[in-house]
Structure 1
Amino acid sequence: MNIIIVGCGKVGCTLVEALSSENHDIVVIDSRPEKVSALTDTVDVMGIVGNGVSHTTLKQAGIETADLLIAVTGSDEENLLCCVIAKKSGHCQTIARIRNPIYNEEKDFLQKEFGLSMIINPELTAANEIAKVFQFPSAIRVDTFAKGRVELLHFKIGSNSPLCGLKLSKFHATLHCNDILVCTIARNSEEVIIPNGDFEFAANDIVSIVAKRRDAIDFFRKIGLEKNRVSNTIIAGGGKISYYLAKSLLMSGIKTTIIEINQQRCEFLSEQLPKATILCGDATDKELLSEECIEKAAGFAALTDLDEENILLSLYANGISSAKTVTKVNRINFTSVINKLDLGSIIYPRVITAEYIIKYVRSMNNSLNSNVEALYKLEDGKAEVLEFLLKENSAVCNIPLQNLKIRKNTLICCIYRNHQVIVPSGQDCMMPGDSVMIATSGYNISDIKEILED
Structure 2
Amino acid sequence: MKIIVIGCGKVGRKIVEELCDENNDVTVIDLKKQVVSDVTSSFDAMGVVGNGTNHLVLKEANIENTDLLIAVTQSDELNLLCCLIAKKAGNCSTIARVRNPMYNNDISYIKEELGLTMTINPEEAAATEIARILRFPSANKIETFAKGKVELLKFTVDSKSIMLGNSLEEFASKLSSNVLICAIERGEDVFIPNGQFVFMENDIVTIVGSPKDAKNFFKKLGIKTHSVKNAFLVGGGKIAYYLSKNLLSMGIKVKIFERNRERCEELSELLPEAVIINADATDKEVLREEGLEGSAESFVALTGIDEANIFLSLYAKKKSKAKVVTKINRVEDNDIVNDFNLGSVISPKLLTAEYILRYVRAKQNTIGSNVETLYRIIENKAEALEFHICEGAPVIGIPLEKLRLKDNLIIASVNHKGKIITPNGQTLINVGDTVVVVTTQKNLNDIKDILL
- Helix, strand or coil for the counterpart of 2:48? strand
Q: Tell me the equivalent position of 2:288.
A: 290
Q: Which amino acid aligns with 1:371?
A: N
Q: Tell me the equivalent position of 2:249.
A: 251
Q: Tell me the equivalent position of 2:442.
A: 443
Q: Tell me the equivalent position of 1:42.
A: 42
Q: Tell me the equivalent position of 1:80.
A: 80
Q: Tell me the equivalent position of 1:339.
A: 338
Deviations 1:353-396 (A, max 9, x none): 11111111011124222222211113322110011122233222
> Which whole-Å CA distance do the structure 2 matches of 1:297 and 1:339 have between them?
24
Q: Tell me the equivalent position of 1:89.
A: 89
| More deviation, 156-165/130-139 | 156-165
Asked whether 1:237 is paired with 2:235, we answer yes
- Helix, strand or coil for the counterpart of 2:78? helix
Q: Tell me the equivalent position of 1:198.
A: 196
> Which whole-Å CA distance do the structure 2 matches of 1:417 and 1:141 have between them?
25
> Which whole-Å CA distance do the structure 2 matches of 1:438 and 1:122 have between them?
26
- Helix, strand or coil for the counterpart of 2:424? coil
Asked whether 1:376 is paired with 2:375, we answer yes
Deviations 1:407-429 (A, max 9, x none): 11111000112322100111111
Q: Which amino acid aligns with 1:264?
A: E
Q: CA deviation at 1:171?
A: 2.5
| More deviation, 34-43/76-85 | 34-43
- Helix, strand or coil for the counterpart of 1:268? helix
Unpaired segments of 5 or more residues in structure 2?
Answer: none
Asked whether 1:210 is paired with 2:208, we answer yes
> Which whole-Å CA distance do the structure 1 matches of 2:107 and 2:446 have between them?
29
Q: CA deviation at 1:399?
A: 1.8
Q: Tell me the equivalent position of 1:164.
A: 164
Aligned residues: 451
| More deviation, 167-176/55-64 | 167-176
Q: Which amino acid aligns with 1:35?
A: V
Deviations 1:38-90 (A, max 9, x none): 21232221222211111111111111111111000111111111001111111
Q: Tell me the equivalent position of 1:11.
A: 11
State the identity as a percent: 51
Q: CA deviation at 1:401?
A: 1.3
CA contact (8 A) 1:7 1:71 kept: yes
> Which whole-Å CA distance do the structure 2 matches of 1:60 and 1:22 have between them?
23
Q: Tell me the equivalent position of 1:407.
A: 406
Q: CA deviation at 1:212?
A: 2.1
Q: Which amino acid aligns with 2:77?
A: E
Q: CA deviation at 1:287?
A: 2.0
> Which whole-Å CA distance do the structure 2 matches of 1:430 and 1:262 have between them?
56
Q: Tell me the equivalent position of 1:281.
A: 279
> Which whole-Å CA distance do the structure 2 matches of 1:378 and 1:250 have between them?
28
RMSD: 1.4
Asked whether 1:56 is paired with 2:56, we answer yes
CA contact (8 A) 2:331 2:349 kept: no
Deviations 1:202-248 (A, max 9, x none): 11111000122232223223323325210000100111111111000
Deviations 1:304-358 (A, max 9, x none): 1000110011011111100000000011222222112132210111111111111
Q: CA deviation at 1:263?
A: 2.1
- Helix, strand or coil for the counterpart of 2:281? coil
CA contact (8 A) 2:365 2:371 kept: no
Asked whether 1:358 is paired with 2:372, we answer no
Q: CA deviation at 1:431?
A: 1.3
> Which whole-Å CA distance do the structure 2 matches of 1:242 and 1:32 have between them?
32
Matches within 5 A, 1:137-152: 137-152=137-152
Q: Tell me the equivalent position of 2:260.
A: 262
> Which whole-Å CA distance do the structure 2 matches of 1:140 and 1:389 have between them?
27
CA contact (8 A) 1:65 1:91 kept: no
> Which whole-Å CA distance do the structure 2 matches of 1:216 and 1:363 have between them?
27
Asked whether 1:226 is paired with 2:224, we answer yes
CA contact (8 A) 2:5 2:71 kept: yes
CA contact (8 A) 1:217 1:226 kept: no
> Which whole-Å CA distance do the structure 1 matches of 2:262 and 2:4 have between them?
37
Q: Which amino acid aligns with 2:244?
A: A
Q: Which amino acid aligns with 2:280?
A: D
TM-score of the superposed pair, with normalisation by structure 1: 0.96
- Helix, strand or coil for the counterpart of 1:334? helix
CA contact (8 A) 2:399 2:425 kept: yes
> Which whole-Å CA distance do the structure 2 matches of 1:366 and 1:163 have between them?
39
- Helix, strand or coil for the counterpart of 1:105? helix
CA contact (8 A) 1:294 1:317 kept: yes
Q: Which amino acid aligns with 2:361?
A: R
Shift in CA distance, 444/56, structure 1 to aligned 2, threshold 3 Å: same
